[in-house]
Amino acid sequence: MEEQSERKFPAFPFKPYSIQVDFMNALYQSLDRGGISMLESPTGTGKTLSIICSALQWLVDRKEKQISENAADSSKNPLGSDDEPDWMKNFVASKETPIEEKKDIKNKLGHRSMRFTKNRNKKPFGELFNHIGEGEEKDKKNGKGKSDGEELNDEEFLVEEYESEEEGSVGCGQSKRKGGGVYLSSSDEEKDDGFDDEDEEEAALKIYFCSRTHSQLSQFVKELRKTVFASQLKVVCLGSRKSLCINEEVLKLGNAGRINERCLELQKNKKDDVSKMKVVIMAAFVSPEDLGAGGRIRRTKVSCRCPMLQKHKLQKQFRREIYQEDSLDIEDLVQLGRRIGTCPYYGSRSMVPPADLVVLPYQSLLSKSSRESLGLKLKNNIVIIDEAHNLADSLISMYDSKITLSQLERVHSQIGKYFERFRNLLGPCNRRYIQTLMVLTRAFLQFLHLENSKGDANTCSEGVSGAKSANDGSMAINEFLFSLNIDNINLVKLLRYIKESNIVHKVSGYGEKMACLYNGSTLKDGDESYDEGSSLSAFQALADMLLSLTNNDGDGRIIISRRPTGSGQEGGYLKYVMLIGEKIFSEILDKAHAVVLAGGTLQPIEETRERLFPQLTPDQLHFFSCSHIVPPESILPVAVSRGPSGRCFDFSYSSRSSPEVVEELGLLLSNLVTTVPEGIIVFFSSFDYEGQVYDAWKASGILSRISKKKHVFREPRRNTDIEVVLKEYKNTIDAVSNGDLKANPTLHINGAILLAVVGGKISEGINFSDGMGRCIVMVGLPYPSPSDIELIERVKHIEGLGETNSSKASQFDEHYNSDVKAGFGILRSCKRRGKDYYENLCMKAVNQSIGRAIRHVDDYAAILLVDARYAADSTKGSFSHPSNKLPQWIKARLVSKTNNYGEVHRLLHQFFKFNKKRGTQQTQASFQS
């Protein structure tokens, strides 16, 4: 292998810094070696560009090597060798028949690809709800579909006869419906619709790059365009339907779940017929003039397909134009799709097989059902996961499931009405399974209703962790099943029945019809009263919960909440929380040639190793970390323990809301706005606390004092409003930098201040370079609330990693029921792992937030860690000192102790005076050169 010191990365658009060269070499070696690697490079060091130039250079080198090896093999055994029999020559030649010629042959013979035939029987369970009314049943008596003029009635919703096989086989039911109850996945439909994937061969080797948000993926593509790889390689960027859909009628549904359901409904097989379910619903309201002879409904020839997918030639044009362009991000794909008039979502999906580089969000790669739906093939390929600091939690959260009290009531009611209507028409197997569903939903409802402390449900509440009157609690799977007396139900067979019988669409379709008849109003797309996804979403939630209950007892916990609805609070719910990530991640590790976890701060790596790949010994995990590119004088991290009036900054859970602490924080900001130029970002622990502080400042007049120096902006709760706020914030700072605001002598505005939230969109993926973030203020230590029952369950699980079940059970014999005091008690009882995990959640959030400011080598910023605990004696307290878990490049420069605010003020004044002067000198030197 080429020596590290001699390896070149010619695609890097400018001369790289030494740490960037080190990072690229480390990544290249990791890909060569294979296996699992973790690469850490501080935010603002050009990590993304380094990943691109190293990984894609390795890809190009590897492909060239494969071509050379194949050429060498061919020269040793040429096609025309005399000792090769004629039949072998003909066989090889036939394999090299041009693709277009193959397609012509298929068209002449009049048959489709065998690949479609094979794949149409494969479907992950998670996709079964994706197709509303697919493959509507044929008439049971004569085996023929109903004619356009035939009247539709309730029998349209009668489920096909379902026969059980021998009880000894798992999932032993089978529908009598022709085809055995096969459902097409969206990818199968795509092939059937003429999206000729076969004209694009699968790339021999590809890289999958994934990150958490669409904005981070767009940033990756923008960096990619700076290199020659953007035009040399085939690149495709995948996104969600909500991000890529251009059908306005679907987009206006707003909710991502409803958009998905509506999109998939439009992919039905029948082009010239409206949905039968809708016809049934509308039949009750059809006007006399719309009736044909005999009072039958006159149907018009309407296409059910999305108009953005009706012309397959446009999909091919979409792919051709992408190949002609340099790499396109999600916004570019949407613009291209709108210009051509075809769907960017399905267009980009069809480009996955031939792509060399696939850029996609976490969910698409880490979720098994998503990988299968998209046809992602990881075997012997490369997986790079960026922003991997919270990978373990992000991964297991994808396998959580939840069903609310209102969803359960809806499902139970619809199943009951359906069973009452069709009881005498159902076969014995259908009756048994439908009654089983009713038993399950009734048991869940009794368990959740607040009145369950009385009557028959009394036994249910005693099984939940915590007091009988507690609203929240948690249970293991087996304990939950035994408490509800449903442990004797074969959930695997029941799920098989749900999947194969089409019972979900029958019940929900009948329920929607009855609701429509009862309300006496027609259904209209986009109307608030027309929530076609509500019933299906409720059934999907039930199926997800049942599927979760088939996991091993120790894989997760059931969270029970009996909180009443109203007052802005969520109602009761059942939620399954997955705790085991190693089994899920092993599916990726076992297939891929190399898996790389990259991020700005990945420490401590031991926690990640124990949770995701404990089978690897520390020496098998390859870890690389580099320092920051900025010089020491460009950053000023200070632990601020006291405010301007001398009060101690105590932002612990019990003290942070006191008027004195809130006022002292306001006085600190009032002083900072006069000292810090341009932009200040203030991070609070939550939206609720930020709102509480803002209201207090507004009432006391502190907010008015701050506003005289800097415009105040607040991070909105809705992500859709983020861009507007950030644009106004940036425009204000640009106006100050350009001198526009100084032209008015009545204004003394010197910048802007942005109140943000740790864990929000601003803290995760937004860069505040230069004047956008001259000072980052971290208010307190954003520890998660110990009242979060899911958090405490994860803490308890992590604390017991590697121990036997009995020792784990005895360690936490005290029941936990969503109480802050009890939560702190559990945390104190942890010896190492659980406590470390809790601290790491806090400090990873801090590190992500404070890393928003320093974005390039000439940038500079102050970082104020406002809490007395940052400056406390490191030998005291039950938790480790927070400064120990700061990034090394910050920790090495931290001013850990100041006696009063005067010292902080002086340090800030000197810091900004020095960097402003240095910036002026650099500008002059650049101008002269």
State both tokens at 870.
């940052």
- How far apart CA 867 and CA 649 sit, in angstroms, is 5
Instruction: Give the end-to-end CA distance of the chain in Å, rounded to a whole number.
Output: 41
Is pLDDT larger for residue 563 or for residue 811?
563
Query: What mean pLDDT, rounded, does the chain reach?
Result: 79
Tell me the average pLDDT across 448-476.
53
pLDDT at 399: 92
Please choose, from the candidates 495, 497, 498, 468, the residue with its C-alpha nearest in 3D space to the C-alpha of residue 483: 468
Is pLDDT above 80 for 778? yes
Mean pLDDT lowest among 129-138, 448-457, 649-658: 129-138
Q: Which SS3 state, helix, strand or coil, does residue 711 take?
A: strand
Angstrom CA distances, 365 to 197, 209, 213, 332, 371, stand at 20, 9, 13, 22, 6
Sheet order of strands, 573-578 included: 401-404, 573-578, 556-561, 472-475
pLDDT tens figures, 156-182: 788 878 765 544 333 345 555 433 332
pLDDT bin (cut points 50, 70, 90) of residue 851 is: confident
**Structure confidence at residue 276 as a pLDDT band (50, 70, 90):** very low
Residue identified by tokens 């026969």 is 163
Q: Tell me: the pLDDT tens digits for 316-368?
A: 999 999 888 889 999 999 999 999 999 999 999 999 999 999 999 999 999 98
How much is the pLDDT for 173?
Answer: 52
Q: Among 420-429, 450-459, 635-644, which is the least confidently predicted range?
A: 450-459
SS3 595: strand
List pLDDT tens digits, range 13-26.
999 999 999 999 99
Six token digits for residue 85: 């029999």
| For range 822-847, the mean pLDDT | 89
For residue range 615-640, list pLDDT tens digits in order. 888 888 999 998 888 888 999 999 99
Kindly tell me the sign of the dihedral angle through the C-alpha atoms of 590, 364, 205, 597.
Answer: negative
Which residues, other chains included, contact 741 with Cβ-Cβ below 8 Å and sequence gap of 6+? 732, 735, 747, 749
State residue 145's pLDDT score. Answer: 42
